Amino acid sequence: MHHALELARKAEREDDEVPVGAVLVGADGTLLAEGWNRNITEHDPTAHAEIVAMRQAGQALANHRLIGSTLYVTLEPCAMCAMAMVHARIARVVYAASDPKTGAAGSVFDLLADPRHNHRVAVEGGVLADEASAMLTAYFRARRGKRPATG
C-alpha cells in the first residue's frame, strides 16, 4: 500500500490528477503492474488507477484473466473498477480509504461480494486509510480554493 500511496502522490504532482494509485501483485508476490489515475490527462473516463494497472498486467501476461492476483488501491473501487476486477478474476482487493459516495466494495455498493456474479473478490479495507484520506481531502480542498484542513 505504501507503493500505491506513492503512485497517488505522483498522479497529483505530475499530472494534477485525483491522487489515487494502484499496485497489482501476482499470486507469487511479484509486482505485475502499477497505475495511477489518468482519466483527466488521457481524456478517458475509464482510466482509473485500477483499470490502468489491470490493463498493464493483462498486456504483460498476454491474458485478460489475472487469476490469483491482489490489487492494492488507495481508494475504494467504484462500480466500473469493481466489475472489471470481477471479470479479470482478481482474487483480492486491499484498499485504503473508503468512498462514501461511489464505493463499490462495501460502502455504497457491495459488487465484489455479490453472489449473483460468477466470481467474487475478497475485500480488505482501511489499510493506511488515514494517509490516503488526508491526501484526497487536501487535493479536493485545494481544487476548491479552500485552505488545508488543520488537525
% of the chain with per-residue pLDDT over 90: 93
Q: At what angle do helices 49-61 and 79-88 cross, to 10 degrees?
A: 20
Q: What would the pLDDT profile of 129-151 be if each residue is shown by its tens digit?
A: 999 999 999 999 998 887 766 65
Residue 50 catalytic? Answer: yes
Q: What would the pLDDT profile of 61-98 be if each residue is shown by its tens digit?
A: 999 999 999 999 999 999 999 999 999 999 999 999 99
Catalytic residue among 17, 34, 50, 76: 50
Predicted pLDDT of residue 149: 62
Calpha distance 106→115 (Å, rounded): 14
Distances (CA, A) of 14 to 8, 10, 31, 35, 57: 10, 6, 22, 13, 22
